[in-house]
Amino acid sequence: MKVMHSRHSMSMLADHLVFKPKYRGAISKPAVREVLRLAILEICDEMGLEIIRMAVGADQVHIFYRYPPKYSVSGIARNIKGRSSRMVRKRFPGLKELSPDGFWSPGCFHGSVGHGAEAVVNYIKSQEGLSLEERIERLRRRY
């Protein structure tokens, strides 16, 4: 992983963020997932985050990104989840009826990543577009 340089610091900060919609069916349609993917890319670009790998699956979102030290991981998650929720619900008004009290579940997972970045990239690649049932079936076949 490369070192990021700014005026007064050097950093090598990376995070694996995972979050899911409050209701599983909310991002099951490919059109919703594509709008969501584009919204997250736009938000990350505006914040100066470098997305290493991203997967918007049928029931959860994985983002592996590098970030500057001026942000906290919780602030990044709050920003991505809040803004993407507004953008997607504006584009698909029917989602407001499905989840009037919020699009995303309240929690999320953060995994700080250092020298094991390649393993995270491969894991996220394996999750692209799969539902929970498909991931379970893939694990069953492996073992």
The DSSP call for residue 3 is P
How does pLDDT run across 88-114, given as a tens digit for each residue?
A: 999 998 888 877 788 899 999 998 877
How does pLDDT run across 21-66, given as a tens digit for each residue?
A: 988 777 878 899 999 999 999 999 999 999 999 999 888 999 999 9
CATH of residue 91: 3.30.70.1290
pTM of the entire structure? 0.79
C-alpha torsion 123→129→26→106, nearest 10? 10
How does pLDDT run across 128-141, given as a tens digit for each residue?
A: 776 767 777 776 77
Domain that holds residue 84: 4-142
Total domains present in the chain: 1
